[in-house]
Amino acid sequence: MHLPMSFILLDKVSKSYNDDIALGPTSLSIDRNEKLGIVGETGSGKSTLLKTIAGLVAPDVGQIKFKDEVLENPNDQLIPGHPSIAYLSQHFELPFFRTVEEIVYDPYKISENQVNELYKACHIEHLLQADSQQLSGGEKQRVALAKLLVDGPEVLLLDEPFSNLDLHHQKIIKSALETIVKSMDTTIVLVAHNPMDVLSWADRVLTMRQGKVIQGDNPFNTYNFPQNEYVAGLFGEYNLIDASKWGLDDTRLTKVNGKVFVRPEAISICDNDKSAKNAKVLAVTYQGSHDQLLVELDGEEIVIYGNVGAKAIGDKVPVKLQVDKG
């Protein structure tokens, strides 16, 4: 059967190591210029999936197509990979004792004007004369990105690019990736160690477990309508509340034994709302921008958020559910 034309297409791809399944039968389509985030617990198959798309790991079964042509795997070619697909490992190394400009700029591959735009896109224009060993982790990450982009890849595969970086450098790299997608016609597939890193960045999120994709959706639906407790837990605090008690029997929320997933921020404290339900505060945990409250309501323990210092253990708080019931 001829598969439909797609930018990147995986058809029932699987991979095992010594009878351990690293990647179960996976079918997946990736669009041109898409920003795709892949998340999951350690050993869920994220990196194996990425390396398979990169052409660095040969699947046991199935095939991968890039622009309707089957990708050759490492067993079929001397140098693994595809010239239009760039892969950046989380264990990358920059050459020693060379400046950033010497590492990135290749006049045989890119013009001076083009490389200057690349410096700006990757936020490294101020680092050109710095030695590679003088750079911070975030700066090295951006230099490595720029070096890959000199070849003008159509697809950029990034394995945990935010790991071990502080929030400042994470924001810079996310900004660089946004610029790359818009100005360089590049598709980006990114594996994230921290699932929350992809919510503000990705067009679509794949959540993996035990080598399988168990949910693939946009960030909003992934966060607010998780398929199960595993997906819900990856993206932070959640409540499993009785659907009948809260009038949620006929909603799109995922049900587990009569209960539905609701994030803490969807249950608001409404001091002047007579329709609110009264709950009792059992515990208060300071979270910086807010307090996390554990409350008891109708025999259920629920996590909600409140203003810092506004509530104490033993207080009665009126709460109201505010979720999309459509």
The residue extents of the domains of the chain are: 8-224, 237-321
Assign 322 a pLDDT band (cuts: 50, 70, 90): confident
- The pLDDT of 154-170, averaged and rounded, is 89
Same fold, 8-224 and 237-321: no
pTM of the model: 0.90
pLDDT in tens, 98-138: 999 999 999 999 999 999 999 999 999 999 999 999 999 89
Report residue 324's pLDDT band, with 50, 70 and 90 as the boundaries.
low
In the predicted structure, residue 1 carries a pLDDT above the cut 50: no
8-224: CATH, from 3.40.190.10, 3.40.50.300, 3.40.50.10190, 1.10.3720.10? 3.40.50.300
Q: How far apart are CA 326 and CA 307, in angstroms?
A: 29
pLDDT value of residue 325:
55
250 pLDDT tier (thresholds 50, 70, 90): confident
Please tell me the predicted confidence (pLDDT) of residue 189: 97
Report the distance separating Cα 145 and Cα 103, nearest Å.
11
Judged by average pLDDT, the poorest of 75-84, 180-189, 194-203, 206-215 is: 75-84
Helix (H) or strand (E) holding 23: strand 20-30
Distance of alpha carbon 303 from its chain centroid, rounded? 25
CA-to-CA dists, residue 171 to 162, 165, 185, 231, 309, angstroms: 9, 10, 21, 24, 30
Q: Provide the H-helix boundaries in 55-189.
A: 100-104, 112-121, 137-149, 167-184
**pLDDT value at position 5?**
65
The residue assigned the tokens 């590679």 is 132
> Residue 230 pLDDT more than 60?
yes
Contacts of 241 (CB under 8 A, 6+ apart): 248, 259, 260, 262, 300, 302
CA distance 314 to 301: 14
Q: What per-residue confidence (pLDDT) applies to 211?
A: 95
pLDDT of residue 11: 95
Kindly indicate the confidence band of residue 3, based on its pLDDT and cuts at 50, 70 and 90: very low
Residue 310 is predicted with a pLDDT of 94
Task: Tell me if the domain spanning 237-321 has CATH number 2.40.50.140.
Answer: yes
Mean pLDDT within 290-307: 95
> If you average pLDDT over residues 63-90, what whole number do you get?
87
Contact status, residue 110 vs residue 67, Cβ threshold 8 Å: no
In this prediction, residues 262-272 reach a mean pLDDT of: 91
pLDDT, the chain, mean: 91
Three-state secondary structure of 239-252? EEEECCCCCCCCCC
Render pLDDT for 33-55 as a digit per residue (tens, 0 to 9).
999 999 999 999 999 999 999 99
